[in-house]
Every structure is written in C-alpha cells, then in structure tokens.
Amino acid sequence: MINTAPTESNLSGLDKKDFQKDLNDKKTDLFILRNVQGMEVAVTNYGCAILSIMVPDKNGKYANVVLGHDSIDNVINSPEPFLNTVIGRYGNRIAKGKFNLYGEEHQLAINNGPNSLHGGPTGFHTRVWDATQPDSSTVIFNYISADGEEGFPGNLEVELTYRLEDEINALVIEYRATTDKATIVNLTSHGFFNLAGIANPSPSVLNNIVTINADFYTPIDEVSIPTGEILKVEGTALDFRTPHTLGERIDDNSQQMVNGAGYDHCYALNKSENGELSLAATCTEPISGRTMEVYTTELGVQLYTGNWLNGFTGAHGAIFPARSAVCFEAQCFPDTPNKPHFPSAILLPGDEYQQITIYKFGVQE
C-alpha cells in the first residue's frame, strides 16, 4: 500500500521541489489546497493535473483517491497523458479530426485511431498554465490558446479555477473561456478516481456502485465515434438509473460494450433546463465506504472505466492496472461539430463559455 501518512508539508507526501521545472519559458510548480474539514488536493500547473485528492474513509483514514504521479517528469511522461488533466480545446473524439465551421473546414491532429481525441497530442493537457493561489483553498489557472493551435480557429482565453468548499468535502471546478473568432469549445476534467485509495496494486473499481442521472446515451461505432443516435439506456448494460456495480455488466457481449472495451460512453443527462447545475452521477466504494457525487452544468457526462490502463507506476510506487479507475467527464456530446442535431459546442466572439462541475466526497451512512 502507498504511504499516506502526513509529511511536514502535506498529506499526500508530495515534495514541491519535485514539481519545479523550467519548460518552454514557463515554470511548473506544486499547489496544495486545503479546507477546514481536512480535505487536501494537490495540483500542478502542467495541464492543470490533479495529483492527489486526500479524503477520509468510514474510519477516518485518509487516502489518495485519484491515480496520480509524484514528480513533474512523471506527469509529463505519463503512459496515460490525460491523467487527471484539464482537456481542451475539445474533449472526447472528433471523427477523422475534421469539422466544418461556417463554411471553413478545419483539420485537427489524428491521435486516436482515425480520430482526434482530447484536443490532440499537444492539447491543454500538455501546456504550462499561469497560476495564482489567492487563498489556501483556491488556485486559478489561465492559458491563451493561439489561433490555429492544434488546428482550432481563434485565440481562446481560458480561466480554470479549482476550489475546495469548507462546509463539505467538495472540489469545485469552474471554467470560463472567450474567443476572438468563431470556434468550438468542450472543456472537461479527466479525473481517474479510485475511491478505495491508490495502492500497489490499486484495486479494481468493478465493485463500485454507480448511478447516472440519464435516460439516454449516445451509442458509438467501432472507433468510438457517436453514430448520431440518442438512444434509451433502458434494457441495456448502460442503464445506471438505479444502482449497479460497474463490474456487473461491463463484460456484456452487446455491441456497445464491445465497441467501448467496457464503459466509454457519453450519457445525455436529465436536465430541466440548459446550464442547470444538477446531480449527474454517484459512486460508492463499499469497502472503504467512500462516496462521490458529481454535479455539473454540462449536458453530458462520459463514463470511462480505465479500460486501457496498462499497469504503469504512479505516486509512491502505486500501480494502475486496467479498470483501476473510473472517470466521470462532464462535457458536450462527442463529435458534436459533425452532428448538427447535437447541442452546439460553438463559441462566438462576445460570448463566454462557462461550466461548473463539482466532485463531492463523503462516506456511506
């Protein structure tokens, strides 16, 4: 098991000097957030990667519940490049890396089979963001994505805030973005959660009990691009309207589960109105008793069960095998620019992209 005993500086055992590096004329660093409850989150300004989230189990024992790294070099060279990073300019997949916007075709980098994934190989997850920490529970990151970066049009100014609540153990993520030219924006946080606590090896998440507040989902083809349909979850292995363990149906031989190699699907969340901050999903790890609730203003959430994790080594010798994490990525639907009937991801000059997503932690009563 990893050592989660407190150090002089933080619960996670991370050392600031291991995260300080000069990179592309910018400096990377480690930032520690704390609330009055004792929750602690460690992040770096490289990709806004979350390195650790320290929360208690039913016995009050703290552990890190995200798959993280313990040095900036390991973050940069991670076998999972999107590990707990902010994703942009467009989260999830765009078919063949192409989209047409107001009569102009744009070609993105291809980095996932025939498609573009998560903003491309040098997306927001690889950028050193400017950072300020106004208080002990907040850090604010800023980045300007240049016109043409990874093939996307327009200069996009992005602000990302991580903030811990004091009344509850919750990580609030707020996004804002503006552009000087019509573009597409779909930002998300790609947190890889293991509520049991990371270890050597980190346990499977297949015993996690999940609900998702969605009656519909976007089915995918054999290269994980939405077919364009929006189908009912009813009668499928993707139905989490009532609690099910992730392992109960993950190896179902239906075409959707084969196409995703497990869960890797976007759910169309039940919303009474656009922009409503509402409950998207819940997750409970029955042994530790830890729980997580996901709230978001987004219309979709991607459920991913770490199907492609390959057993690489993370913080303090923790090992991350396949299906040792679950992700709830709040976002637009995948390939929205090529699906005109999907809710739009277009951002115009004079408008502001906004998103709030909250990960609230607790213990089973």
- Average the pLDDT over 236-265 and give the result: 97
In a domain, 291, yes or no: no
pLDDT band (50, 70, 90) for residue 218: very high
Q: Which of 69, 106, 190, 316 is catalytic?
A: 190
In a domain, 167, yes or no: yes
Tally of domains in the chain: 1
CA–CA dist 96, 111 (Å, integer): 10
Which of 9-13, 134-138, 166-170, 185-189 is least confident? 9-13
In a domain, 246, yes or no: no
- Average the pLDDT over 111-134 and give the result: 98
In a domain, 265, yes or no: no
Residues 307/262, Cβ–Cβ less than 8 Å: yes
In a domain, 304, yes or no: yes
Q: Establish whether 190 is a catalytic residue.
A: yes
Cβ neighbors of 99 (< 8 A, separation 6 or more) are 105, 106, 108, 184, 337, 338
Question: What SS3 class is residue 298?
Answer: coil
pLDDT band (50, 70, 90) for residue 43: very high
Q: What is the CATH number of the domain that holds 151?
A: 2.70.98.10
Global pTM exceeds 0.85: yes
Residue with tokens 């997750």: 283
- Average the pLDDT over 292-320 and give the result: 98
CA pseudo-torsion sign 52, 56, 58, 60: positive
Q: Establish whether 157 is a catalytic residue.
A: no
In a domain, 277, yes or no: no
**Per-residue model confidence (pLDDT) at position 310:** 96
Half-sphere exposure of 97 (CA within 13 A, CB side): 18
In a domain, 5, yes or no: no
Share of the chain above pLDDT 90, in %: 97
CA–CA dist 160, 355 (Å, integer): 10
pLDDT band (50, 70, 90) for residue 5: very low
In a domain, 100, yes or no: yes
Is the pLDDT reported for residue 3 higher than 70? no
- Average the pLDDT over 271-298 and give the result: 97
CA–CA dist 217, 237 (Å, integer): 11
Q: Which domain holds residue 149?
A: 16-204+297-363
CA 72 → CA 171, 178, 217, 276, distances in Å? 22, 29, 36, 36
